[in-house]
Amino acid sequence: MENLKHLIFYFKGYQHVADFQRLCGVEIATVEELTSNDNNGISNNVEKSTESNRPDHDAIKRNVNGVHKNGYKNGLHNSEGHEKKLAYKIKNKAFYFLMQFGAGLGGEIFYITFFPFLLWNIDSRLCRHILLIWYPLMYFGQFLKDMIKWPRPGPPAVRLEGNRFEMEYGMPSTHTIVGTCIPFSLLVLVSRHYEMSWGLGLFGALVWAGLVACSRVYLGMHTALDCIAGVGMTLVLLPPMLSVVEQVDFFQLTSPYAPIFLLLLPILACVYYPKPAVWSITRGDTSNIVSIGSLVCTVGWFHYQLGWMEETPHPPGLQPFPPITTDWLYYSAIRTVCGVIALAVSRVVSKKIWLKLVCNFAGVETKDTAKQREIGLEVPMRWFVIGGLAVNTAFTAPLVFHYFGINREYYYKEIGL
């Protein structure tokens, strides 16, 4: 038991993060040491405790603009009131780019390409099933972050990612949640209906999940314990979710009461998401995730209610994979490239429009970001902008594809138990 406690303590600490970074070719050096009274514009300041001149590590950490970092960017106050600033040099560029790719498997660019590709070119039913697993797990993980409030790693480790992800807590790692739930969900769901090599599929899922987890430690954004918690939580919740996901999908498409679960509950979950004392990106990112999953599934419900969607249950027994033909590659490439470009452009345009409309309605200046965050405008903004992308992905794009004669033949026929 004592050994287990030491192991947990080690994986919760930051030394193993720095050790892993050095092992993978990151050269770390202390470049300066500043007293906590130094006000020369450094971004790693902290509010001091009102009771003592020593820093209060339970206090909210802020940068010079008043936005907390939930830890320190390449610097951490020690018990003597000093801050060490660290520098790093990447000596193994190939490994660095591999780890950046691994981190990207849990980022926004991945979502905006993976889910549309799956929906437009592979199987809309499979896409809905994965979304029904992905967004509740991610909501739960994000919620736990703001409840547990463990900071990101600090010295002797360095952070190799930008400021965006530094502005939230670290436990559990939601990158590892998505990096575990998507490949293993794909493995199980595909194997239910198609002939495939379980050994090869399991190997691919393990490599995918392992790459994401290692990337978070390598980039200094999570401890190993954060990643272990994310993987463990996913592996515990995934089996019961996979056991009912097909029944849930059929209900949400066919029941007239489905919008209560598809829209009302997700919206309320975002509106009443715990509001932190100081703004962080977690609440907004959670709204992004929930709006994507909720609205793609809602579009499916509309398709069924309009009579556009036909029930075509899976044939009995395992089927061979559909052949990858030249036509499939050609039309998939056209749909993906044109569709993703259109989504990216629509996001830029819609963000400006919705920002102005929402701010005018709330009586807030469009440039007053602090006030917008204070009254929680990010939640409706994310639902309108990112949720709008989800609607365009599942509803508008297939209509446009159909108009030009390039829509996938079975897009409106993938429903049934």
DSSP one-letter string for 303-316: HHHTT-----PPPS
Q: What CA–CA distance (Å, rounded) separates 120 from 343?
A: 13
**Predicted pLDDT of residue 35:** 41
Q: What CA–CA distance (Å, rounded) separates 220 from 4?
A: 24
Nearest one of 97, 172, 178 to 136, comparing CA atoms: 178
**Predicted pLDDT of residue 242:** 92
Using an 8 Å Cβ cutoff, are 205 and 183 in contact?
Answer: yes
The structure tokens 């660019």 sit at 109
- Annotated domain spans of the chain: 2-94, 95-413
**Predicted pLDDT of residue 320:** 77
**Predicted pLDDT of residue 32:** 54
**Predicted pLDDT of residue 73:** 41
**Predicted pLDDT of residue 181:** 92
Catalytic residues: 175, 222
Sign of the CA dihedral 351, 133, 237, 228? negative
Sign of the CA dihedral 10, 11, 13, 17? positive
**Predicted pLDDT of residue 61:** 36
**Predicted pLDDT of residue 380:** 83
Q: Which residues contact 209 (CB under 8 A, 6 or more apart)?
A: 176, 179, 180, 183, 184, 231
Q: Which residues contact 370 (CB under 8 A, 6 or more apart)?
A: none
Q: What CA–CA distance (Å, rounded) separates 179 from 164?
A: 19
**Predicted pLDDT of residue 85:** 61
**Predicted pLDDT of residue 388:** 86
pTM of the model: 0.78
Average pLDDT for runs of 10 along the chain of length 417: 72 80 78 43 31 34 34 39 62 86 84 88 89 91 82 78 67 88 91 83 91 88 87 92 90 87 86 74 83 90 84 73 84 90 87 84 76 76 86 90 86 72
